[in-house]
A and B are shown apart, each in its own frame.
Chain A
Amino acid sequence: MMQLTSNTNWETIDKHLIKTEHDIVNVRQQIRFCAKQLNMGIINQTRITTAVSELLRNMYNYGEGGEVLIQKGMVDEHNALIITCSDQGPGIDNLELAMSDGYTSGKGMGYGLPGAKRLVDRFEIESEKNKGTIVRIMKWN
């Protein structure tokens, strides 16, 4: 199992619970705002916002909602925006399969997780059956 990178020096910007589709929209708007504050360009703003949107939707659709933590800090000498999404859902059976293009366990297109991975600079995932899933993504500014 992959170990999530973490650092106590990261500054927590905000923390949200995801329960409704409306929460997804709110968090997305905040992510875009944070990205802007970190001087990211419009392309990177859109990328990180879309990646977060994918993760939040997964959480909402499959993980019975969850929690999202927004942080900023230094990662490998990069100034990064760090977003951690965690749920207590059913977990992912086969991570390798879930990370491959076109595979979906539900009604989606199957590009959510692999797509989100391509949109960010670092993508870490940890999942345990019947315990939940944690995804941590980072985008350098």
Chain B
Amino acid sequence: MGETHNIQRIKERINNIEDVLASVAAGDNEARINSETEDDLSGIEAAIDLLIDDLTDELIQREKMQKEVEDKLSKIQEQQKTIFQQQADLMELSSPVSKVWDNVLILPVIGTLDSQRTQIMMENLLEKIVETGCTISILDITGVPTVDTQVANHLLKTVTSARLLGAECIISGISPAIAQTIVHLGIDLSSIKTKATLQDAMIYAMKQNKLSENVKLQTLFTDPDENED
């Protein structure tokens, strides 16, 4: 009688263990066996409880880490967005064309000249030439560390298109190292007016200005005579 009762008890307890394991497997972190009796089976029950403890701890840790990683990822994505935005902003900012004197435009170029930037730079310069009617523009490349054939090609194209609009383009700020490099590369920049410093270019531009003013004055004075003749 007592034996069958015992077997009945043990069956119940095993069923309980199964239930607990099933709910843990389903994701319940709180389920435990919590056996109150002391016998051979309770040792196994305690061990299972411990295992569940460890397992749930791991799970919680993993979830925490996953969340941290996700947080970091979203932060990085946000930073990347900012970087892209700033790159776009810089692109616009980095090619300002300003009128510094009567008839004289200056475009200081700083940093690297890639194709995209040259495009923007060229557009800015040509627009400004048309807008202001200036006939002399100075391209200052003091801030360009490397002039390779591509950069030189871009510069040549810019100068040529400015010329098509009737503006003379002077390139200034060529360092001795860059001058030597250009010569070794074999690039012919002789069709372009170049000056060592921005100051030299300014002086040249002003001289040109004076010359053209004199020509204007002369034509003013000589025109009536020609009409009388």
* A contact residues vs B (CB 8 Å cutoff): 21, 25, 28, 32, 42-43, 45-47, 49-50, 53-54, 57, 101, 108-109, 111-112, 114-116, 118-119
Chain A residue contacts of B70, Cβ below 8 A: none
B146 touches A53 (CB 8 A): yes
Chain A residue contacts of B178, Cβ below 8 A: 46
Could you write out 12 A-B pairs with CB less than 8 Å apart? A21-B114, A42-B177, A46-B146, A46-B175, A47-B177, A47-B184, A50-B148, A57-B150, A101-B186, A112-B148, A115-B187, A116-B185
Given the complex of chains A and B, what is the CA–CA distance between A132 and B176 in angstroms? 36
Given contacts A50-B147, A50-B148, A54-B148, is CB(A111)–CB(B177) below 8 Å?
no
Size bracket of the B interface: 20 to 34
Flag whether B74 is at the interface (Cβ < 8 A): no
Flag whether B86 is at the interface (Cβ < 8 A): no
Would you give the shortest CB distance from B179 to chain A, in whole angstroms? 10
Chain B residue contacts of A50, Cβ below 8 A: 146-148, 181, 185
Would you give the shortest CB distance from B83 to chain A, in whole angstroms? 11
Given the complex of chains A and B, what is the CA–CA distance between A111 and B183 in angstroms? 11
Chain B residue contacts of A101, Cβ below 8 A: 186
Interface flags, B160-189, vs A, CB<8A=1, else 0: 000000000000000111101100111100
Considering the complex, which residues of chain B in the window 85-110 have a beta carbon less than 8 Å from any beta carbon of chain A? none
A114 touches B177 (CB 8 A): no
Given contacts A32-B145, A43-B177, is CB(A111)–CB(B185) below 8 Å?
yes
Chain A residue contacts of B153, Cβ below 8 A: 108-109
Given contacts A54-B148, A57-B150, A109-B152, is CB(A115)–CB(B185) below 8 Å?
yes
Given contacts A47-B184, A119-B181, is CB(A25)–CB(B149) below 8 Å?
no
Chain B residue contacts of A21, Cβ below 8 A: 114-116
Flag whether B112 is at the interface (Cβ < 8 A): yes
Given the complex of chains A and B, what is the CA–CA distance between A35 and B214 in angstroms? 52
Given the complex of chains A and B, what is the CA–CA distance between A111 and B184 in angstroms? 10
Chain A residue contacts of B175, Cβ below 8 A: 46
Contact of B184 (CB < 8 Å), options: A45, A49, A115: A115
Given the complex of chains A and B, what is the CA–CA distance between A46 and B153 in angstroms? 18
Given the complex of chains A and B, what is the CA–CA distance between A49 and B181 in angstroms? 10
A28 touches B146 (CB 8 A): yes
Given the complex of chains A and B, what is the CA–CA distance between A118 and B116 in angstroms? 28
B184 touches A118 (CB 8 A): yes
| Chain A residue at smallest Cβ distance from B178 | A46
Chain B residue contacts of A54, Cβ below 8 A: 148-149, 185
A108 touches B150 (CB 8 A): yes
| Chain B residue at smallest Cβ distance from A53 | B148
Would you give the shortest CB distance from A104 to chain B, in whole angstroms? 9
Task: Identify 20 new A-B residue pairs, CB closer than 8 A, beyond the known A101-B186, A109-B153, A111-B187.
Answer: A21-B115, A42-B177, A43-B176, A46-B146, A47-B184, A50-B146, A53-B148, A53-B150, A57-B148, A57-B150, A108-B149, A108-B153, A109-B152, A111-B149, A111-B185, A111-B186, A115-B149, A115-B186, A118-B184, A119-B181
